[in-house]
Amino acid sequence: MSAGRLIICPTPIGNLEDVTLRVLAALREADIVACEDTRRTRILLDRYGVGGTLVSYHEHNERQRAAELVARMRDGAVVALVSDAGTPLVSDPGFVLVQACVAAGLAVEVLPGPSAALAALVASALPADRWHFAGFLPRKHSELQHAFDGPETLVAFESPRRIAASLAVLAEVDPERPVAVCRELTKLHEEVVRGTAAELAARYADAPPRGEVALVVGGAPSASDEIGPALEALKRLVDAGAKPRPAASVVAELTGVSANRLYRALTADQGA
């Protein structure tokens, strides 16, 4: 194995003081620092008096640059990979380079550090024992609905301009679903707003948040959970000849369970 290697270096997501001592040591050791934006990375390096040769590595030059960096590592160079913020490969470039290093038999060292997804998950006060990271949410209505169907907590990045629309879709599916909108994490204007899907959809409908946003959504309850008795009542009405949608609305008024949830659970049960 060549003495050259790749070091994955997480960088601060907002507050420059969140960089770790190990990351700074790795950046000082590296022969090459591969980064999304050399100007942004230079700000961090200058803050801590770190020199080094910077090269751009982003989504538009990944394959070409990965080949060049692997060749340098085969010759013994140490390459540090950083993204503009957070951990490389987590909705940031780096996957192609890591794959190329593994294929070439080069060592890959991963350092722990800042992650917006983890910070948002913990700040949300939602269950963290089972969770799913979705990257950036899909835009198609049907795909977005499907993204909210999982039983585990969902963590995703979202554009401030689209957060209201995404929350509106979730409110259609389950208005009572717990949600946290985490904005500008670790920065001066950090804000975590918690509430139901319906509450936050209304809050941001005419006043979208500013800055970078991470959305955390509680897992979808199964039909056998809290809606069990209401679903059984709906089944009895349908078996007696009632039409499913009107019957779901009646049961929703009596039980407080969302009519959409009841109808979706009924159709899922019938299709099973």
Q: pLDDT tens digits, residue range 131-187?
A: 999 999 999 999 999 999 899 999 999 999 999 999 999 999 899 999 999 999 999
Q: Which of 110, 129, 151 lies at the terminal end of a domain, its last residue? A: 110
184 and 98 share one domain: no
In a domain, 164, yes or no: yes
For the chain, what is the mean pLDDT? 93
93 and 46 share one domain: yes
In a domain, 223, yes or no: no
Q: Is the pTM of this model over 0.95?
A: no
35 and 81 share one domain: yes
10 and 102 share one domain: yes
Q: How many domains does the chain have?
A: 3
Q: How far is CA 174 from CA 120, 235, 238, in A?
A: 21, 20, 22
Q: pLDDT tens digits, residue range 42-58?
A: 999 999 999 989 999 99
The CATH number of whichever domain residue 49 belongs to comes to 3.40.1010.10
In a domain, 16, yes or no: yes
145 and 63 share one domain: no
In a domain, 140, yes or no: yes
203 and 121 share one domain: yes
126 and 206 share one domain: yes
57 and 106 share one domain: yes
Supply the range of the domain harboring residue 189. 116-217
183 and 237 share one domain: no
